[in-house]
Structure 1
C-alpha cells in the first residue's frame, strides 16, 4: 500500500470524532431551542381574544409558575424560574393585567413585573381582618392614590362623611376591582356604603326579639361571630350562643374581644392574666357587648347575627379536629373541654 493511501485513510478516521461532536452539539442546540420554545416562548393560555389576569399582593413568580405547571399550561417550569431569577430579577406586582391572545409566557412574566402595566387594581379585603390591617394594606398599595390614609382617625372619618366615632367594622370585606390610581377616599367610601347596605338589609329582615338596642350593636355581634369561627355552617350557632348569653345575663367571655382590647400588646398568646385584666373590650370582666366591633364582618356574619339558631346552647369549645362542639349545660361543656384536651394530647 502506498504512503498516499495510508494518509487518506488516517484523515478519514480522524474526521469521525469531529463529525460526531458537531452532530451532538447540533442536537444539544435543537434540544435547548425546543425547551425554550416550549417554556418561555409558548403562547400563554388565553380564553378568547383577551382576559384579565389578577395578581394579589404577596403572590410570587414561583407560586404562579407552579400553578400554571399543575394546570398543564406551561412546560419546563424550572426554566421559567431561572429566567425570572436571572433576567427579570424583580417581583410580581399586585394588580389586574390585560393579557392578549398570542402573548408568550415570557411576555406575561415581564408584564406583571411592572405595576405601571396594570389596568385595574385588585383589592382583597378578608373577612375578620381589622380596620388597622385594611389601612396598612392600602398604604402599601402603590396603585392607590393617598388622600386620607395618613389623617388622624377622627379627621379621616369626617373626610369620608362617616357619622361614627370609631371605624372598626364599618367596611365590607370582599374582593374589589378599582381603576389604577383610584383614591383611598373613593375606595373606603365604597366599602363603607356596601357594609351599610348589607347591615340595613339584614336589620330590616331580622328575627324578632333580638337583644340589640340598634343595628350597630348587631354589627358588633357580627364581628364577634366572624372572629369565633371560620366555618359558615357554624355562624348561626355561634350567634345563638352569644345572644342567649346576653338574654340570660351571662358575660360573653369571648377571647377575640380580649385580644382586640390588648392591641399591640397581643403577640400571639393569651394568658389567664390577660383574661383578668380589664379593658373596654374584655368580655370576661365586663357585661354585655364591647363598645365597638372588633373586626370587619362579612355579610354572612351580619346575617347570622340577625338570625341565631333555635337551640338552647350557651357554650361551645373547639373539637381539635376542626369546628366546635355546642352544648347547653356546664356539665356537657366540661366534658366537651376534656374531649378537646384528649384530642390535643393525642396529637402531641
Structure 2
C-alpha cells in the first residue's frame, strides 16, 4: 500500500514538474515573440497601469499573440512589473521582452517643435494647432488671456519668446512651451541689455527688443546685422523716421498680399514707420539672439540708408544721393532677370 502511494506521489510530482516546465516554456516563448508592428508606435503608461493591463492592451491592438498564463508572468519575471509612467516609442524590431523593458528603463518619447527666427506669434499659434500630442490650452484664449496666464505684463506677445527648437513629452501643453520660450528670451535680453553700448537712443530693454525684431526681418545675413542696426540707431539719433518696410507689412496684417503700394506707405497705422516717429509700439517678430546683440551693440558707422543688392545682402549708403543710385541699380538688376 505504501509502495503504491509512493508511486502515485512520484507521478503527481512528475506531472507537476512537467506542468511547471510547460508553463515556464510557454511564458518564455510568449515573451520572446516579436511585436507585430508595421511602424513605430507610441505607448502611454498611465499612473496605476499594471503589467496585465499593458499586456491586454498589446493583445487588443494585435501587436502580440495572447497566452492563458498571463497572470503567472509576474512570478517568473517580477522585474517586468515595474512599468514607468510616461509615453514611450516601440519599434517593429522589438520583441515583447524588449518592449516591456523599454517601458521600464527606456527614455520617454520626446517630440519637437521648431520656431524660426523672424516668425510671428500668429505663426506660432498656427504651429501649436498642428503639433501632435500637445495639449492645446491656448487655442480658445485671446492674446491678452495668454499673457495673463503667463504672468506677462504686455497684452501683445509679439517678440516675447525665443525662437528655437523646443522638445516636449506627450501631454505637455503649449503654455509650458511658451513659459520656457519667454524665460529664455528674458534671460538673453537682460544679459545683452546689461552689456549694451553707451548712449543708445533706447530707453529700456523692451525698445531694444523692438529694434532687434526689425533687424531680424530686414536681414538674414549674419555679418550685416550690426551694420543694419547702425542705420536704425543713426536715424533714431538724428530723429529721422525709420522708414522700414517690415513694419509697414506688420501693420497691414492680413491685408498684406506680397506687395506694398504707395497708399500703404501713407497709411497711418501704429507700425508704419514711414508715418510715425521713432519705434513702433511692439516688436514685429520673434528676434534671435544675434539680432538682439546687434540692436544693443551696433556697428560704429555713418550709414543712414540701405537697399537690397539683388545678389544677397544689402548696399549701405551715407547720404540720399548714393542711396538713390543704389536703388536704381537694384531696379535694373530686377529688370534684367525678367
Same structural fold, with TM-score higher than 0.5 when normalized by the shorter chain? yes
- 1:290 corresponds in structure 2 to 280
1:119 maps onto 2:109 in alignment: yes
CA deviation profile, 1:124-168 (whole Å, cap 9, x unmatched): 000001001101110121221022332122111111111222100
In structure 1, which of residues 309, 315, 325 is the aligned counterpart of residue 305 of structure 2? Answer: 315
Task: Structure 1: give runs of 5+ residues left out of the alignment.
Answer: 1-95, 104-117
Q: CA deviation at 1:344?
A: 1.3
Correspondence list, 1:328-343, <5 A: 328-343=318-333
- Mapped to 1, the partners of 2:174 and 2:304 lie a distance apart of 42
- 1:176 corresponds in structure 2 to 166
- Mapped to 1, the partners of 2:282 and 2:300 lie a distance apart of 26
Task: Structure 2: give runs of 5+ residues left out of the alignment.
Answer: 1-86, 95-107
- Mapped to 2, the partners of 1:223 and 1:167 lie a distance apart of 13
SS at match of 1:121: strand
Q: CA deviation at 1:100?
A: 7.0
- Mapped to 1, the partners of 2:146 and 2:91 lie a distance apart of 40
Q: Between Structure 1 and Structure 2, how many residues are aligned? A: 240
- 1:301 corresponds in structure 2 to 291
In structure 2, which of residues 259, 269, 286 is the aligned counterpart of residue 269 of structure 1? Answer: 259
- Mapped to 1, the partners of 2:284 and 2:166 lie a distance apart of 22
Correspondence list, 1:198-217, <5 A: 198-217=188-207
- 1:197 corresponds in structure 2 to 187
In structure 1, which of residues 272, 278, 284 is the aligned counterpart of residue 268 of structure 2? Answer: 278
- 1:128 corresponds in structure 2 to 118
- 2:56 corresponds in structure 1 to none
Q: CA deviation at 1:291?
A: 0.3
Q: Decide whether aligned partners of structure 1 residues 231 and 98 sit closer, same or farther in structure 2, where only a CA change above 3 A counts.
A: farther
Correspondence list, 1:2-81, <5 A: none
SS at match of 1:177: strand
Correspondence list, 1:144-159, <5 A: 144-159=134-149
Cα contact 1:314–1:328 (8 A) shared by 2? yes
Q: CA deviation at 1:311?
A: 1.1
SS at match of 1:302: helix
- 2:156 corresponds in structure 1 to 166
1:250 maps onto 2:240 in alignment: yes
Q: CA deviation at 1:307?
A: 0.7
- Mapped to 1, the partners of 2:199 and 2:193 lie a distance apart of 12
Structure having the higher Rg:
2
1:187 maps onto 2:177 in alignment: yes
CA deviation profile, 1:94-134 (whole Å, cap 9, x unmatched): xx99687968xxxxxxxxxxxxxx92111100000100110
In structure 2, which of residues 316, 320, 338 is the aligned counterpart of residue 326 of structure 1? Answer: 316
- Mapped to 2, the partners of 1:314 and 1:332 lie a distance apart of 11
Pairwise CA RMSD = 2.0
Cα contact 2:306–2:315 (8 A) shared by 1? yes
CA deviation profile, 1:209-242 (whole Å, cap 9, x unmatched): 1110110000000000000011111111111000
SS at match of 1:210: coil
TM normalised by structure 1 equals 0.66
